[in-house]
Amino acid sequence: MQIDLSGKTAVVTGGNRGIGRSFATALAGCGAQVVVTYYSSDFESFPDGSGISGVALDATNSADVTAFMAKAAETLGGKIDILINNAGGLLARVETATMSDEHFHNVVNVNFSSCFYCTREALKFMPDGGRIINLSSLAAHDGGGGGSRIYAATKGAINSFTRGMAKELAPRQITVNAISPGFIADTPFHNTFTPDNVQEIVAGKTLIGRGGTPDEVAYAALYLVSQMGTYVTGEVMEINGGLYFV
């Protein structure tokens, strides 16, 4: 079955780089019109005619998210069929005993508050039968690497929020799922926070024997938002090459 998203509209937060960029490119490649947000990096434009536009957004600011979603919906013809909550990050590796209140709240806000704000506001413009995908992480299951405990905890919250929202939105036939990547190579996340030798060790522990790619994560998203994924909701889909079994 060919995936056809013609006539569908989508918002991908944090869609400028890494996995988020692959989400946006995959959706647009199947015919969707896409708006991506970016914050911590300069916008890298997409090819002309791709159907993808970018808007700067601090997704941790509730008022900014409210204004953005209204504008995005206007740009997309009055509706948001698909929301991918991809914005987030580790920020820094900090051990709990030396962690400041500021760092704690920043990690919670960028990973979980942003997901809540964007979901709440997108629902005002999402028709029945819409699709929501939240980005989780293998860290939600294993507690994460050194200095990432709060990051891991926010991803656990994402999983719980995903399942709760799946229940809440079921009467509207809106599916809500999470994608939980393991080690995905060639991403800003690992290029910034994971030394090359550690990346090699982790990749070697997967059953596949390598790190994943952002596109391989995006392919899972296509299944969930397409006509093939209509009976899947409340699920946390693990994309980790056999590194971890739930």
Answer whether residue 245 is part of any domain: no
Answer whether residue 32 is part of any domain: yes
What's this model's pTM, rounded to 2 decimal places? 0.94
Burial of residue 55 (number of CB atoms within 10 Å: 0-12, 13-18, 19+): middle
Mean pLDDT, the chain, whole residue set: 94
Answer whether residue 4 is part of any domain: no
Fill in the amino acid letter for 83: L
| pLDDT on residue 75 | 96
Burial of residue 141 (number of CB atoms within 10 Å: 0-12, 13-18, 19+): buried
Task: Please say if the pLDDT value at position 84 is more than 90.
Answer: yes
- Residue located via tokens 């988020």: 20
- Residue located via tokens 């050194």: 146
| pLDDT on residue 97 | 97
The whole domain housing 193 covers 9-237
Q: What is the CATH number of the domain that holds 72?
A: 3.40.50.720
Answer whether residue 169 is part of any domain: yes
Per residue in 142-170, pLDDT tens?
A: 999 999 999 999 999 999 999 999 999 99
Per residue in 85-138, pLDDT tens?
A: 999 999 999 999 999 999 999 999 999 999 999 999 999 999 999 999 999 999
Task: Please say if the pLDDT value at position 31 is more than 80.
Answer: yes
Q: Mean of the pLDDT values across residues 35-56?
A: 89
How many residues are listed for the chain in this entry? 246
Percent of the residues in the chain that have a pLDDT greater than 70, as a whole number = 98
Per residue in 58-70, pLDDT tens?
A: 999 999 999 999 9
Task: Please say if the pLDDT value at position 171 is more than 70.
Answer: yes
| pLDDT on residue 45 | 86
Percent of the residues in the chain that have a pLDDT greater than 90, as a whole number = 85
pLDDT category, 193, cuts 50, 70, 90?
low
CA distance 159 to 180: 9
Q: Return the higher-pLDDT residue of 210 and 45.
A: 210
* Tally of domains within the chain: 1
Q: Mean of the pLDDT values across residues 171-183?
A: 97
Active-site residue set: 151
